[in-house]
Amino acid sequence: MKLRIALIPGDGIGPDIVAEALKVMGAVGTKFGHKLDFSFYLAGGAAIDSVGVPLPESTLLGCQDAEAVLLGAVGGPKWDHLGGEMRPEKALLGLRGGLGLFCNLRPAILYPQLADACPLKSSLIEGGLDLMVVRELTGGIYFGKRGRNEAGDAAFDTMAYTTAEVERIVRMAFDIAMKRNKHLTSIDKANILETSRLWRSVVNRLAADYPEVVVDHQYVDNAAMQLVRKPRQFDVIVTENMFGDILSDEASQITGSIGMLPSASLRSDSFGMYEPIHGSAPDIAGQDKANPIATILSVAMMLRYTFRLASEADAIESAVGRVLDAGWRTGDIMSEGMRLVGTKEMGTLIAQQI
């Protein structure tokens, strides 16, 4: 099988971790007989430095022509002085909008080998932790009308959703719940926000199509507390854009290291953009210190969701588990008695396991 993948290494540690993901993909291709067709593109600060814009048209066109996109990371203090439309992060919004990526999947998994890194007391995570945050990605306050008055002393941001936008993300969440533990928690602020009341009504209507799924609702402020009070109550969480942005970051911290967690941004067909949830960490760029596992696990998500190659995805995830079982750790997940390795060696160890 030929896999056409657009690669955007980006900024900071992005090139470091994408290089190790390529190493692992090469091992998968060899083992399972797939041909890998890679194309490299600029986005973020690297694109600003090279061509003067965060998302060149050639990058968007190249990604549209691929079957999937693997992104490293964008941004950094170097470009903090730039205005809003020229910031590196605008590349992410441009890619999501230009590629029609409305569904963001952020798994939060506490690996048993890293249980000591969890900030919660052990009784709260006994039996492990494995939840999925399904975040709407192209609507809500991040994409609504915004501005300031003429005097510049007042500003506004508009949160807006249509029934169709809510339906497509909620149905995606129900489908994912059906493949997991058949429990869906919808998170909103329906006691205050009209958009949340629309959201809740759509969830309740679609629930009739999924009678096997247990559905409950939580207000976002309560959900934020419940994630640290009783995280094992959650299986699949579905929520709007800003709430999902905040809660998925909170969920990632429960697992102990953002260096371990992948993400996928999907549209209604098989196309997806895959990236680690962490940032560009320019302070350690090029120093062989970054943890590449989140990016490598993002490749596993790519194989599973875009290419429907479950065995190949399982091979990557199992390889990561075996490397952790053997005691190998990058600095961010290092603990007493473990063996410290750099970015490159971690990628090599996982590829060898495959």
Active site residues: 142, 189, 221, 245, 249
DSSP structural state of residue 191? T
CA distance 343 to 284: 11
| Exposure b/e, 195-231, CB count within 10 A at least 16 = b | bbebbbebbeebbeebeebebebbbbeebbeebeeeb
Query: CA 266 → CA 96, 164, 168, 260, 280, distances in Å?
Result: 9, 16, 11, 20, 22
State CA 148 to chain mean position distance.
32
Long-range pairs for 338-346: beta carbons < 8 A, 24 or more residues apart: 342/288, 342/289, 343/13, 343/16, 343/17, 343/20, 343/288, 343/289, 343/290, 343/291, 343/292, 344/19, 344/20, 344/288, 346/20, 346/291, 346/292, 346/293
Rounded Cα distance, 60 and 79, in Å: 21
CA nearest to 285, candidates 50, 5, 92, 46: 46
Three-state DSSP state, 280 = coil
Please report which helix (H) or strand (E) contains residue 154, including its range: none
Looking at residue 4, the DSSP 8-state letter turns out to be: E
Decide: 158 and 144 in contact? Cβ < 8 Å. yes
Q: Cα torsion at 110, 128, 320, 32 (round to 10°)?
A: -120
Q: Which amino acid is at 257?
A: S
